[in-house]
């Protein structure tokens, strides 16, 4: 399991219709668009996909749809983790049967297990599947940081091959990159941290912005890796307002609004999320115009 999941993985939004039911036709369309516009992989059932609001049946339907549409063209990861180890195992097994290429497992949220509990959680899930696994560390949402030493222990498990680091802590990202083997891949979990993460040994990003600027992000990463550092910096400067703008309020509210504004029509948001207010939408429109998307 020495291969990475690629350089740009898009955490795909979940399209809904006017009644906030799954819009599977739009999911097919969006997945194909992403494959053609810079995404090496697609993450389904992530935070950006509003996974807490989806039923198990909807999760399975959505995975089946995306795998059927683009499974032969790109790598598909399924977000199957929760705060329950057993439920995470069960959903992981369902995703493996559907035919995904890998699994993203979020740090257990709310119940705040100690580091040894985190280690055992991920280890038990890894033992339940033959699929490669990416750990997802996002303490801002889960209230628990997966510490560097825990990630390094987990990296020794054969099918745990990557981490999505969304701690926002470049020191922690650096320590992880310095401590793991070359066949363990460190991804930025924040668009605005992609270039800093690359500079300390990261391999790519699990991105929200790549819904609309995937080709630019891909170009930035490749330029950096090819030694064209100034070009990569220039692209990062160009993209920075958009990176900031799509987080002007809780993700995925702004990115869904941005997709709708440019014509992708992915629908609204399920409660408890809500649409941008008028002033927020005006700000977002200005940002989209500034980067040439409107």
Q: Does residue 154 form part of some domain?
A: yes
Domain holding 109: CATH number? 3.20.20.70
pTM of the full structure = 0.96
Percentage of the chain lying above the pLDDT 70 cut: 99
Q: Does residue 281 form part of some domain?
A: no
Q: Is the pLDDT of residue 31 over 70?
A: yes
Report angle CA 102, 127, 98 to the nearest 5 degrees: 40
pLDDT tier, 4 (very low <50, low <70, confident <90, very high otherwise): confident
Q: Does residue 288 form part of some domain?
A: no
pLDDT tier, 73 (very low <50, low <70, confident <90, very high otherwise): very high
3-state SS, the chain, equals CCCCCCCEEEECCCCECCCCCECHHHHHHHHHHHHCCCCCEEEECCHHHCHHHCCHHHHHHHHHHHHHHHCCCCEEEEECCCCCHHHHHHHHHHHHHHCCCEEEEECCCCCCCCHHHHHHHHHHHHHCCCCCEEEEECHHHHCCCCCHHHHHHHHCCCCEEEEEECCCCHHHHHHHHHHCCCCCEEEECCHHHHHHHHHCCCCEEEECCHHHHHHHHHHHHHHHHCCCHHHHHHHHHHHHHHHHHCCCCCCCHHHHHHHHHCCCCCCCCCCCCCCCCHHHHHHHHHHHHHCCCC
Q: For residue 3, what pLDDT is reported?
A: 77
The whole-number average pLDDT for the span 172-200 is 97
* Rounded-to-integer distance, Cα 26 and Cα 22, Å: 9
Q: Does residue 137 form part of some domain?
A: yes
Q: Does residue 259 form part of some domain?
A: no
Q: Does residue 109 form part of some domain?
A: yes
Largest Cα–Cα distance of the chain, in whole Å? 49
Q: Does residue 31 form part of some domain?
A: yes
What is the CA 281 to chain-centroid distance, rounded?
24
Q: For residue 1, what pLDDT is reported?
A: 46
The residues annotated with a catalytic role in the active site are 136, 164
Q: Does residue 261 form part of some domain?
A: no
Q: For residue 277, what pLDDT is reported?
A: 96
Domain count, the chain: 1
Report angle CA 184, 221, 126 to the nearest 5 degrees: 25
pLDDT tier, 263 (very low <50, low <70, confident <90, very high otherwise): very high
CB distance 55 to 87 below 8 Å: no
pLDDT tier, 257 (very low <50, low <70, confident <90, very high otherwise): very high
CB distance 57 to 18 below 8 Å: no
The whole-number average pLDDT for the span 142-161 is 97
Q: For residue 121, what pLDDT is reported?
A: 98
Residues spanned by the domain of 177 = 8-229
Residue 16's CB is within 10 A of a number of other CB atoms, namely: 20
pLDDT tier, 2 (very low <50, low <70, confident <90, very high otherwise): low
């Amino acid at each position: 399991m020495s291969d990475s999941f690629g350089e740009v993985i898009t955490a795909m939004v979940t399209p809904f219709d006017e009644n906030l039911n799954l819009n599977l036709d739009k999911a097919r369309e969006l997945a194909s668009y992403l494959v053609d516009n810079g995404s090496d992989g697609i993450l389904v059932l992530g935070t950006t996909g509003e996974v807490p609001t989806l039923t198990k049946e909807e999760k399975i339907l959505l995975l089946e749809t995306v795998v059927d549409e683009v499974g032969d063209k790109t790598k598909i990861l399924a977000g199957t983790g929760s705060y329950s180890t057993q439920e995470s195992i069960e959903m992981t097994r369902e995703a493996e049967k559907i035919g995904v290429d890998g699994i993203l497992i979020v740090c257990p949220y709310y119940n705040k297990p100690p580091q040894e509990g985190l280690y055992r959680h991920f280890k038990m899930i890894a033992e339940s599947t033959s699929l490669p696994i990416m750990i997802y560390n996002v303490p801002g949402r889960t209230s628990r940081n997966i510490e560097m030493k825990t990630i390094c222990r987990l990296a020794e498990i054969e099918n745990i091959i990557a981490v999505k680091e969304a701690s926002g802590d470049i020191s922690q990202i650096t320590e992880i990159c310095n401590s793991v083997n070359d066949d363990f891949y460190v991804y930025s979990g924040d668009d605005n941290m992609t270039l800093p993460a690359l500079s300390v040994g990261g391999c790519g990003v699990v991105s929200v912005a790549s819904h609309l600027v995937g080709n630019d992000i891909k170009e930035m990463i490749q330029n950096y890796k090819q030694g064209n550092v100034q070009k990569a910096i220039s692209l990062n400067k160009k993209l920075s307002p958009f990176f900031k703008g799509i987080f002007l309020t809780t993700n995925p509210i702004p990115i869904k609004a941005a997709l709708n504004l440019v014509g992708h029509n992915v629908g609204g948001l399920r409660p408890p999320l809500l649409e941008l207010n008028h002033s927020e939408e005006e700000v977002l429109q200005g940002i989209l115009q500034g980067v040439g998307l409107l």
